[in-house]
């Protein structure tokens, strides 16, 4: 069966007595046992829950490793990443790409480093730098590919070989593409993590994260941590994710089509100085991306060379909501420097040449003509010398620059 088929045709209710068509929400913390000696399959939801099991099987299926694949669901993407990092101990070294989601950077630098983990950052999109940076203490290489939000691409197969040659593991955060568009375990990665809050859920109504592995020893370790730390995903959220997953293929098909048209359109605008999108030929490492992934994803980033102009553009968008996060059915826009990546200190961002004028668009499933019209309108108003007159000329309501809460701490 193809994935689009398996997403809607799967054992949704193993063992259900009534022939339910949809996975029931086993909203129970405990399961009664026949005797104190003989336990059934489930005893306590922290340790295992039938609704979460169905979700984990579906995602393991998507990761493409057949019977070897296992997946574990957590309360958030960061909880999933923490589970992988908690396989390490004091003195172990993580070699991380210098371009990471702000929350992952904060977890590494402000929580785990203080507990004795050593973190080394390097530009791992460049294999020569990766080879220089790895040490005998390196136990884990951690990368995002495609990275959020600079759209940088690492050669996963080569990084997996490098890690394994040094007795280390490779963990790939594949949130940007989803397992439909790339399968890092097949490229040699040991762990794949996703913030399921994004595409896997698709509706911005659950925070969740998953870790997938294809090795029974690693599966045992991650399960031990899931049960031992207690950050496994609850049954209600597991149900919502199973429901969201059913349309993953359908959603991504439309979202990618819209994103490609938007990237092309922005590319032609005089006020746009750079478009970062895996579908454009000038993406650095484009050939690596083409080899290891089967799609572009639906996040489009662009720059204007002017942080104030970028800020005005985002403020002037109407259909694109200003929000952190991405991957939902409805489109949104953000300024990563002030929002999702504000937890990376300004001097670190500057040292890593993180563009302060970068706008990140998460493209949804709306009609493309509405999205393009919204972008054109916002670009026109924002680049005009006297914005207010321009607004009236377009018969639009005046732009109200209210005090939006940009959630600088998320
Ligand atoms: C959002 C995100 C995370 C964190 O996931 P949460 O579900 O918000 O905890 C991790 N990595 C990437 C690439 C993300 O975009």
pLDDT tens figures, 333-385: 999 988 878 888 888 888 888 899 999 999 999 999 999 999 999 999 999 96
Helical residues (DSSP H) of 233-328, grouped into ranges: 235-245, 248-267, 286-292, 307-316
pLDDT at 385: 67
Q: Whose CA is nearest to atom 1 of ligand 1?
A: 195
Beta-strand relationship, 118-122 and 299-303: unpaired
Q: What is the rounded distance in angstroms from the CA atom of residue 370 to the CA atom of residue 335?
A: 21
Question: 180 is written with which tokens?
Answer: 């439909």
Decide whether any atom of ligand 1 lies within 6 Å of the 207 Cβ: yes
Would residue 268 show up in a list of annotated catalytic residues for this protein?
no
> Is the distance from the beta carbon of residue 195 to the nearest atom of ligand 1 less than 6 Å?
yes
Residue 144: CB within 6 Å of ligand 1? yes
Give residue 78's Cα distance to chain centre. 10
Model pTM above 0.75: yes
Tell me the percentage of the chain whose pLDDT exceeds 70.
Answer: 94
Catalytic status, residue 42: no
Best mutation site among 78, 97, 179, 334 for ligand 1 pocket (most ligand atoms within 8 Å of CB): 78
CA 194, CA 338: separation in Å to the nearest integer? 23
- Which residue's C-alpha comes closest to atom 7 of ligand 1? 77
Find the mean pLDDT for residues 265-288: 94
pLDDT at 354: 87
Length of the chain: 410
Of 204-213, 217-226, 331-340, least confident by mean pLDDT is: 331-340
Q: Which of 98, 173, 190, 249 is catalytic?
A: 173
Two tokens, residue 312: 């005005």
Name beta bridge partners: 141.
95, 170
Tokens read off for 33: 């046992």
What's the pLDDT band for 392 if we cut at 50, 70, 90?
A: very low
Instruction: Give CA 218 to chain center in angstroms.
Output: 22
Average pLDDT over residues 266-273: 96
Of 407 and 322, more confident: 322
What pLDDT, on a 0 to 100 scale, did the predictor assign at position 394?
A: 47
Q: What is the mean pLDDT of the chain?
A: 93
On whether the CB atoms of residues 90 and 115 are closer than 8 A, the answer is yes
Residue 181 has pLDDT above 90, yes or no: yes
Q: Is 154 helix (H, G, I), strand (E, B) or coil?
A: coil
Determine the distance separating the centroid of ligand 1 and the alpha carbon of 288, expressed in angstroms.
23
**What are the beta bridge partners of residue 191?**
171
Which of 79, 84, 106, 148 should be mutated for ligand 1, with most atoms under 8 A from CB? 148
**Residues 339, 148 contacting (CB under 8 angstroms):** no
CA 86 remoteness from chain centre = 20
Please tell me the distance from the alpha carbon of residue 361 to that of residue 205, in angstroms, as a whole number: 19
User: Is the CB–ligand 1 distance for residue 76 below 6 Å?
Assistant: yes
Q: Which among 251, 76, 82 has a CA at the least distance from the CA of 181?
A: 251
User: Does the beta carbon of 82 sit less than 6 angstroms from any atom of ligand 1?
Assistant: no
């Amino acid at each position: 069966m193809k994935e689009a088929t398996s997403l809607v045709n799967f054992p949704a209710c193993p063992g259900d007595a009534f022939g339910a068509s949809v996975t029931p929400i086993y909203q129970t913390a405990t399961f009664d046992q026949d005797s104190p000696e003989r336990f059934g399959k489930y005893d306590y939801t922290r340790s295992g829950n039938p609704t979460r099991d169905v979700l984990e099987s579906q995602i393991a299926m998507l990761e493409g490793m057949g019977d070897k694949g296992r997946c574990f669901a957590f309360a958030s993407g960061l909880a999933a990443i923490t589970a992988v990092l908690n396989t390490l101990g004091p003195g172990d070294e993580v070699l991380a790409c210098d371009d990471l989601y702000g929350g992952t950077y904060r977890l590494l630098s402000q929580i785990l480093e203080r507990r004795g983990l050593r973190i080394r950052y390097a530009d791992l999109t460049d294999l020569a730098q990766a080879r220089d940076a790895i040490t005998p203490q390196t136990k884990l290489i951690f990368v995002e590919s495609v990275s959020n939000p600079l759209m940088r691409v690492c050669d996963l197969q080569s990084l997996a070989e490098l890690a394994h040659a040094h007795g280390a593991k490779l963990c790939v955060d594949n949130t940007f593409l989803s397992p439909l568009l790339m399968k890092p375990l097949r490229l040699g990665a040991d762990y794949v993590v996703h913030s399921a809050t994004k595409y896997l859920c698709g509706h911005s109504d659950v925070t969740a994260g998953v870790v997938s592995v294809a090795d029974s020893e690693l599966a045992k370790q991650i399960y031990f941590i899931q049960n031992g730390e207690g950050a496994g995903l609850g049954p209600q959220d597991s149900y919502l994710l199973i429901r969201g997953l059913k349309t993953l293929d359908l959603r991504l098909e439309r979202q990618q089509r819209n994103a490609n048209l938007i990237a092309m359109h922005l590319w032609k605008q005089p006020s746009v100085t750079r478009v970062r999108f895996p579908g454009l030929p000038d993406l650095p490492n484009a050939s690596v991306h083409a080899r290891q992934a089967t799609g572009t994803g639906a996040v489009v980033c662009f720059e204007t060379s002017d942080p104030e102009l970028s800020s005005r553009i985002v403020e002037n968008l109407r259909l694109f909501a200003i929000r952190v996060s991405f991957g939902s059915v409805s489109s949104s826009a953000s300024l990563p420097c002030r929002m999702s990546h504000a937890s990376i200190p300004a001097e670190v961002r500057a040292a890593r040449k993180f563009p302060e004028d970068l706008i990140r668009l998460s493209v949804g499933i709306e009609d493309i003509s509405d999205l393009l019209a919204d972008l054109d309108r916002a670009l026109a108003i924002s680049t005009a010398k006297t914005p207010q007159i321009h607004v009236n000329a377009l018969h639009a309501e005046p732009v109200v620059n209210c005090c939006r809460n940009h959630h600088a701490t998320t």
